[in-house]
Amino acid sequence: MPLSTAAGATASATMGTTVASAGDHPGFLSPSGVEIAFLLVGLVTLGAAVITVTTRQLVHAALWLVVALGGLAVEYLLLTAEFIAWVQVLIYVGSVVVLLLFGLMLTRAPIGRSPDADSGNRWVALGVAAAAATALVWVVVDAFRTTWIDLDGPAQGSTEVTGAFLFRNWVLPFEALSVLLLAALVGAIVLSRKHDTDTTVRPGPSGSPRSPGPSGSSGPSGKEERS
């Protein structure tokens, strides 16, 4: 097994990882500053992601998602992809999390702890996720243990470079993407519009529409009329 080549390295205990050192390459067992920063921000990101999927307070889950996505933006900055980092901050932290918070409020999510945030198949999900994490980390570490990213030189994701490759090589998919955004906009409007045929009560007890349910008899429909 190639992981056993790390046994000879004397400093492997300092990193506490099982990744083998290539020997002639610089730096994994004496990590550079960028790697240390990446590792620390990655730990924060991973912890925030774990809290996001395990917390019982739904609004806190959205706020921890902000931490996770912001940490990923910092990781993009460390990988010299500056434009993508700021797009990440703008779109994810700026709009997607706000949309999620609006969705939580419009569906009347409980503010405090909700005891039923996790469904019954929680342990099955934990098993599946642990198995997938083990397999993926093993394969990825085994495949890329002697691979190094060269971060020197000009930044590969600055705004100038991004504009050049996006509007020189990728302009047709870019325009197609605008059509997709327009379709998503129209679709969201159509889905959230109040249909006239749904509001009129059909005659007879069998064809009548469903009640809004146990969480409030006039809550969702009344809210929807105001909005």
> What residues numbered 102-141 form the site for another protein, per CB under 8 A?
102-104, 106-107, 109, 114, 116-122, 124-126, 128-130, 132-133, 136-137, 140-141
Report d(CA 85, CA 70) in Å as an integer.
9
Within residues 150-169, the interface with another protein by CB under 8 A covers: 150-151, 156-157, 161-162, 165-166, 169
Would you list the DSSP string of 55-85? Answer: -SBHHHHHHHHHHHHHHHHHHHHHTT-HHHH
Does position 226 bind another protein by CB under 8 A? no
Residue closer to another protein by CB (options 8, 25) is: 25
Residue closer to another protein by CB (options 9, 96) is: 96
Going by C-alpha positions, the residue among 65, 67, 58, 69 that lies closest to residue 103 is 58
Report d(CA 19, CA 5) in Å as an integer.
9
Answer for the pair 41, 75: CB distance below 8 angstroms, yes or no.
yes
Residue of 99, 111, 113, 159 that binds another protein (CB under 8 A) = 99
Residue 113's SS3 state is: strand
Site string for another protein, 177-196 (x = CB under 8 A): x--xx-xxx-xx--xx----
Within residues 69-88, the interface with another protein by CB under 8 A covers: 69, 72, 75-76, 78-81, 83-84, 87-88
Within residues 47-66, the interface with another protein by CB under 8 A covers: 49-50, 52-53, 58, 61-62, 65
Answer for the pair 114, 56: CB distance below 8 angstroms, yes or no.
yes
Residue of 13, 196, 206, 226 that binds another protein (CB under 8 A) = 206
Measured N-to-C along each axis, helices 171-192 and 159-168 cross at an angle, to the nearest 10 degrees, of 90
Least separation in angstroms between CB 13 and another protein: 18
Token pair of 194 as six digits: 């109040």
Least separation in angstroms between CB 27 and another protein: 7
Site string for another protein, 9-48 (x = CB under 8 A): ----------x-------xx--xx-xx--xx--x--xx--
Answer for the pair 14, 29: CB distance below 8 angstroms, yes or no.
yes
Least separation in angstroms between CB 8 and another protein: 18
Residue closer to another protein by CB (options 11, 91) is: 91
Torsion of CA 81, 86, 92, 94, to 10 degrees: 170
Does position 93 bind another protein by CB under 8 A? no
Token pair of 115 as six digits: 């005891």
Please give the single-letter amino acid code of residue 119.
S
